């Protein structure tokens, strides 16, 4: 099977497939001992992500273990803020941090749109290398953070449970927030177009913090810029042919509006029944999801039961890509992932 006909891309086009395709968010990560070994060799997560040969190696690790239906570029959403000069680094046990978070209108005004082939060359080189090493086995997914989610980190300077500084800026100085989000939408679109040109075959946008916003704020500060990114991708000669998957975590109230952006698929978190999501938007977009990641810590029987519940919930329609509702966590035994992949493939 060549990748254009692969069941992952067919499902995103809502064409019939032999088996439901599955891949897993954060499939290359700390739950795999071979990932931890390569990361040790690299010295840090950032060194790993910024060395194309090592990024390629860890991208392929989960595929060597499990018959997954897609590969995802090993990188991070915070590459764009880093390329903009904000100084990404990781403090052990505390997650990502930015050395120079945005603190003034002047900080926002100074931001430029990074040139992917120079400022983010290591990402483009990784995409080219991974695509070559995959040799058409499975399609490669490229990705970016959404404008709103990147703005959250750029304003806060680190992770947060509420991102209240970002919300305060949206309320107190909406013009500056819109200026920032517009620069980010241009940057995200340019970055994704470059990944498409380098060989990515599907594009996913992670709007991890969209669901923190009240409905009107979601429409103004998250949805509007997701729609702008999709529109910019549709105007690119290469990217226009790639399916775009939008994942707005915690934004189940907005599925119809997200489907209206022109994306090919919506990623779902685990807090909605997939049959409800399908009834609401399934005639327009494919759906990707949506097993609670915590299920993987339960018994093989429970994993099979919960996988079956989602497969049955979606039903015998085209357009389902199985995934977790968020990233796999480091505590999971890889054997449980094998159980899930086999259950979804009906083996």
Which residues belong to the active site? 26, 30, 39, 76, 153
Q: How far is the CB of 37 from ligand CP3 (least distance, A)?
A: 12
Candidates 10, 4, 12, 5; CA nearest to 285 is 12
Q: How far is the CB of 143 from ligand CP3 (least distance, A)?
A: 5
* CA–CA gap between residue 182 and residue 188 (Å, rounded): 10
Q: Please identify, using beta-carbon distances, which residue of 38 and 282 lies nearer to ligand CP3.
A: 38
Q: How far is the CB of 280 from ligand CP3 (least distance, A)?
A: 23
* CA–CA gap between residue 30 and residue 23 (Å, rounded): 16
Q: Please identify, using beta-carbon distances, which residue of 78 and 282 lies nearer to ligand CP3.
A: 78
Q: Please identify, using beta-carbon distances, which residue of 101 and 159 lies nearer to ligand CP3.
A: 159
Closest residue to ligand CP3 in the complex (CB): 208
Beta strands in the chain (DSSP E): 71-72, 88-91, 95-98, 140-145, 202-207, 244-248, 265-267, 286-291, 320-324
Say if strands 88-91 and 95-98 run parallel, antiparallel, or are unpaired.
antiparallel
Q: How far is the CB of 140 from ligand CP3 (least distance, A)?
A: 11
Say if strands 244-248 and 265-267 run parallel, antiparallel, or are unpaired.
parallel
Asked whether residue 31 is marked as a ligand-binding residue, the answer is no
Q: Please identify, using beta-carbon distances, which residue of 93 and 316 lies nearer to ligand CP3.
A: 93
Q: How far is the CB of 80 from ligand CP3 (least distance, A)?
A: 11
Candidates 99, 218, 196; CA nearest to 144 is 196
Asked whether residue 29 is marked as a ligand-binding residue, the answer is yes
Q: How far is the CB of 65 from ligand CP3 (least distance, A)?
A: 13
* CA–CA gap between residue 242 and residue 144 (Å, rounded): 14
* CA–CA gap between residue 176 and residue 153 (Å, rounded): 16
Q: Please identify, using beta-carbon distances, which residue of 302 and 329 lies nearer to ligand CP3.
A: 329
Rounded to the nearest 10°, the torsion over CA 256, 260, 264, 270 is: -20
* CA–CA gap between residue 105 and residue 86 (Å, rounded): 15
Asked whether residue 76 is marked as a ligand-binding residue, the answer is yes
Q: Please identify, using beta-carbon distances, which residue of 7 and 249 lies nearer to ligand CP3.
A: 249
CB count within 10 Å of CB 249 equals: 20
Asked whether residue 179 is marked as a ligand-binding residue, the answer is no
Asked whether residue 2 is marked as a ligand-binding residue, the answer is no
Asked whether residue 201 is marked as a ligand-binding residue, the answer is no
Asked whether residue 27 is marked as a ligand-binding residue, the answer is yes
Which residues are at the interface with ligand CP3 (CB under 6 A)?
A: 25-30, 39, 45, 72, 74, 76-78, 95-96, 143, 159, 206, 208, 327
Beta strands in 93-146 (DSSP E): 95-98, 140-145
CB count within 10 Å of CB 341 equals: 21
* Cα three-residue angle 156-127-84, rounded to 5 degrees: 30
Please report, in range form, the residues annotated as the binding site for substrate.
26-30, 76, 153, 208, 326
Please report, in range form, the residues annotated as the binding site.
26-30, 76, 153, 208, 326
């Amino acid at each position: 099977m060549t990748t254009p006909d692969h069941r992952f891309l067919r499902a995103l086009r809502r064409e019939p497939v032999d088996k439901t395709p599955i891949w897993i968010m954060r499939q290359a990560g700390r739950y795999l001992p071979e990932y931890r070994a390569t990361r040790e060799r690299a010295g840090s997560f950032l060194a790993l992500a910024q060395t194309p040969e090592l990024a390629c190696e860890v991208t392929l690790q989960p595929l060597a273990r499990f018959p997954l239906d897609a590969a995802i570029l090993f990188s991070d959403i915070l590459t764009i803020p880093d390329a903009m000069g904000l100084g990404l680094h990781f403090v052990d046990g505390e997650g990502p941090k930015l050395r120079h978070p945005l603190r003034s209108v002047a900080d926002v005004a100074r931001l430029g749109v990074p040139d992917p082939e120079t400022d983010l060359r290591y990402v483009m080189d990784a995409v080219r290398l991974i695509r070559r090493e995959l040799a058409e086995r499975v399609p490669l997914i490229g990705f970016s953070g959404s404008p709103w989610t990147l703005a959250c980190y750029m304003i806060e300077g680190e992770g947060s449970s509420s991102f209240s500084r970002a919300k305060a800026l949206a309320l107190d100085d909406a013009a500056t927030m819109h200026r920032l989000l517009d620069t980010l939408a241009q940057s995200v679109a340019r970055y994704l177009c470059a990944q498409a040109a380098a060989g990515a075959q599907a594009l996913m946008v992670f709007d991890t913090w969209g669901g923190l916003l009240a409905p009107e704020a979601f429409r103004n500060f998250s949805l509007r810029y997701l729609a702008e990114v999709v529109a910019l991708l549709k105007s690119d000669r290469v990217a226009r042919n790639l399916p775009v998957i939008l994942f707005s975590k915690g934004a189940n109230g907005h599925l119809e509006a997200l489907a209206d952006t022109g994306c090919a698929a919506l990623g779902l978190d685990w807090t909605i029944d997939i049959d409800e999501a399908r009834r609401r938007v399934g005639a327009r977009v494919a759906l990707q999801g949506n097993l609670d990641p915590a299920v993987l810590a339960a018994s093989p029987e429970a994993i099979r039961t919960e996988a079956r519940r989602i497969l049955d919930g979606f039903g015998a329609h085209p357009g389902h890509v199985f995934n977790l509702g968020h990233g796999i966590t480091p505590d999971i035994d890889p054997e449980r992932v094998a159980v899930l992949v086999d259950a979804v493939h009906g083996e």
